[in-house]
Structure 1
Amino acid sequence: MSNYPLSYKLSWLPRFLKPSLGGDGKGFAPMAGTLMATPPMRTVRLAFIGDISAVANRRAPDCDPAIKAMLGSADLVIGNCESPVVDRPSAVLGTKLGTHHAMSERFLAEALAAVGLAHEKLVLSLANNHVLDQGVAGFDETVAALQRLGIRSIGLAADGPVQPVKVGLLDVGFAAFTLWRNADEDLFAGRVSMGSDLAGWPRGFDLLCAVPHWDWEFRHFPRAGTRALARHLAGQGVGLIAGHHAHVVQPVERIGETVVAYGLGDFLGTALARQPWPGRIGGVFVVDVSVDEGTHGVIAAYRMHPFVRLRGRDHERLVSVAHLEDAMRGKVERRLRAIFP
């Protein structure tokens, strides 16, 4: 059984059809910010993308060259693998209806190529509610598929709560975990990281980064409990947090020297193919981290780069906001102004 409250389940469809701007919008940071008065001489660039799924795509997406160039400028790209990677879905009916996710290894490889993502520069989290949609065998197949593709995975319980990744001169610890599950707890236990308790987390990294699957879906502003967890993580030494699960873009918050991007929306559509437009806004969160002596591991600057997933016949087109047609661009910019101060 899943662990969603009844009120959450009842609100899913209304919020999917009309993503909410309700909630506490106070205390958030601008879409872009500089944290160091003197820019560092050397930096490492991390780019965070949202959920990746094949639900809204029968073939690889078309990608705006500006987005492709942005991703190509990063030393490491981190995203959430929202769909199990399997040859044949075992949950056939649920997969057809879209309640159970699945994508083929070929689709994933072609989608990554279409957006210019090199496998050796990619890290994908498997700590999410859909990772067991195709059962235990599908989970095992997903882990094996990412290994074959040369893509590093995070969020696996067997690897411990924090996975080290060397990015140039930077030692980053990634802690991916999910607060939500779509199956019984005993299926997730021992396979997927579900804990946010820092007591057992190893330290000694230049930068500790959390990648949580948290909050409620289709709400632009995070709930009070989500913000409290962010403050707790920041207080325990986590310097960067990039969240998933809301499927809509959410604001940025600065908690001391910690930067939090609460939700990046979807990178490739994870709900229904004909999703209403506010849910089609996603973001690429780019963070520059100093590797200079004296400021090694300190976040120098960040910027949220919003984009929109437009619908083609059987796939999506990823378009930067600046390249949208005037009517759509106006609607998107008004929504972004409501989210980001």
Structure 2
Amino acid sequence: MSNYPLSYKLSWLPRFLKPSLGGDAGVFAPIAATLMDPPPASMVRLAFVGDISAIANRSAPQCDPAIAELLCSADLVVGNCESPIVERPSAALGTMLGTHHAMTERFLAEALGAVGISSEKLVLSLANNHVLDQGIAGFDETVAALKRLGIRTIGTIEGGPVARLAVGPLSIGLAAFTLWRNADADLFAGRVSMDSDPDWARYTGGVDLLCAVPHWDWEFRHFPRDETRALARRLAAQGVGLIAGHHAHVVQPVERIGGTVVAYGLGDFFGTAFARQPWPGRIGGIMIVDVSADAGTPGAIAAYRLHPFVRLRVGDHERLVEVEELQGALRQKVVGRLDAVFGRR
């Protein structure tokens, strides 16, 4: 059984049809900021993307060149693998209806190629509520497929609480966990990280920057709940310097907690809800973070920018476009929604 409260379950469909704007953009940080001026002489660039699935794509998405160039500029790209990677779904009916996620290894490889993300630069979290949608065998098949593709993973018990990666001259720590599950707790136990409150300070040694990738908050709400913000404060107090969240399926604001930068929700990178998803759920974000590699400030965040984009439906797949490329009424609606979430940008 899932661990969602009843009030959450009852609100899912209304919020899917009309994502909530209940919140105050004025209490959050700008969508972009320069934190070190002048900038460091040496930097590495991290890119964080949202949930990845084939639900809204029967073939690989298209991607505008400017978005692909942005992703190619990163030294490391981190996202959430929202769907098990299987050749044949075991939950056939649920997969057909969209309640159980699945994608093939071929789809993922072609989709990543379309957006210009190379496997050696990519890290995917498996700590999410859908990771066991195709059962234990599907989880094992997913892990094996990502290994074949050369994609590193985080968020599993086997991988440990924090993965330490060399990114240029820096050591970057990556930690992932999910607060939500769609299956029994005993199935998640021993496989998927659900511990949001270990002693994170124990893992800051030996890394220049510790980043958290949580699957948290409630879906289809543009503003994080008070409980989510409180958890972000606990993570920041224990030395987590950068947080990039998932699960809401809509973009959420950025907050600065001391020296920690928090992007609460990046939306979907590839559509993970139904193919005919309402337009606010088609807005995603790519969080670009430049990190100092100078000897005196290794791991300090020099600058960040959340780049919004929109997934347009094109036949059996989606096209990722910059907001500036939109036209007419859709552009006005998207710009208005972004201003409501992030304030005047």
TM-score w.r.t. structure 2 length? 0.98
Is contact 2:199-2:238 (8 Å) kept?
Answer: no
Deviations 1:213-257 (A, max 9, x none): 000000000000000000000000000000000000000000011
Alignment partners' CA distance in 1, 2:173 and 2:198 = 13
2:194 maps to 1:194: yes
Q: Tell me the alpha carbon deviations over residues 135-163 of structure 1, each in whole angstroms, 9 at most, x when there is no partner.
A: 00000000000000000000011111111
Q: Distance in 1 between matches of 2:61 and 2:29?
A: 31
Secondary structure of the residue that 1:309 maps to in structure 2?
Answer: strand
What is the CA–CA distance in structure 1 between the aligned matches of 2:62 and 2:235, rounded to whole Å? 37
Instruction: Name the structure 2 match of 1:13.
Output: 13
Structure 2 alignment gaps of length 5 or more: none
Alignment of 1:91-106 (within 5 A): 91-106=91-106
Between stretches 35-44 and 55-64, larger displacement belongs to 35-44
- Which residue is equivalent to 1:321? 323
Q: 1:327, CA displacement in angstroms? A: 2.2
SS of 2:203's partner is coil
Q: Give 1:24 deviation, angstroms.
A: 4.3
* 8 A Cα contact 2:32 2:305, kept in partner: yes
Query: Is this contact kept in 1: 2:222–2:341, CA < 8 A?
Result: yes
1:238 to 230, 237, 240: 240
- Total equivalences in the alignment: 341
Q: Determine the C-alpha separation between the residues in 1 that align with 2:328 and 2:262.
A: 31
User: Offset of 1:287 from its aligned partner?
Assistant: 0.2
Verify the 8 A CA contact 1:198 1:236 in the aligned structure 2: no
Runs of at least 4 residues off by over 6 Å: none
Letter of the 1:63 counterpart: C
RMSD over aligned Cα atoms: 0.9
Match of 2:309 in 1: 307
Give me the whole-angstrom Cα distance separating, in 2, the residues matched to 1:242 and 1:153.
16
Looking at structure 2, the residues matched to 294 and 215 of structure 1 have their Cα atoms a distance apart, in angstroms, of 36
2:263 paired residue number: 261
TM superposition shift of 1:166: 0.9
Sequence identity (%)? 76
Deviates more, 1:148-157 or 1:202-211: 202-211
Q: Measure, in 2, the Cα distance between the counterparts of 1:274 and 1:73.
A: 31
1:338 aligns with 2:343: no
Residue of structure 2 in register with 1:224 after alignment: 226
How far 1:118 moved relative to its partner?
A: 0.3
Q: Which residue of 2 aligns with 1:121?
A: 121
Task: For residues 81-108 of structure 1, give each alpha carbon's deviation from its aligned partner in whole angstroms, at most 9, with x where no partner exists.
Answer: 0000001000000000000000000000
Q: Distance in 2 between matches of 1:67 and 1:165?
A: 25
In structure 1, runs of 5+ residues without a counterpart are: none
**What residue identity is the alignment partner of 2:258?**
G
Q: Which residue identity does 1:80 align to in structure 2?
A: N
Please state how far the C-alpha of 1:110 moved relative to its aligned partner. 0.4
Q: Deviations over 1:180-238 (max 9, x none)?
A: 00000000011001001232652221000000000000000000000000000000000
Task: Say which SS state the counterpart of residue 15 (structure 2) adopts.
Answer: helix
| TM-score, reference length from structure 1 | 0.99
Provide Cα deviations, 1:31-54, integer angstroms capped at 9, x if missing partner. 100111321111100000000000
Select which of 252, 255, 258 maps to 2:254: 252
Of 266, 274, 277, which aligns to 2:276? 274
Which residue does the alignment assign to 1:65? 65
Separation of aligned partners in 2, 1:101 and 1:243: 19
Structure 2 distance, partners of 1:203, 1:49, is 23
The equivalent residue for 1:79 is: 79
Match of 2:185 in 1: 185
CA distance in 1: counterparts of 2:307 and 2:24, whole angstroms: 23
Q: What SS does the corresponding residue of 2:27 show, helix, strand or coil?
A: coil
Shift of 1:25: 3.6
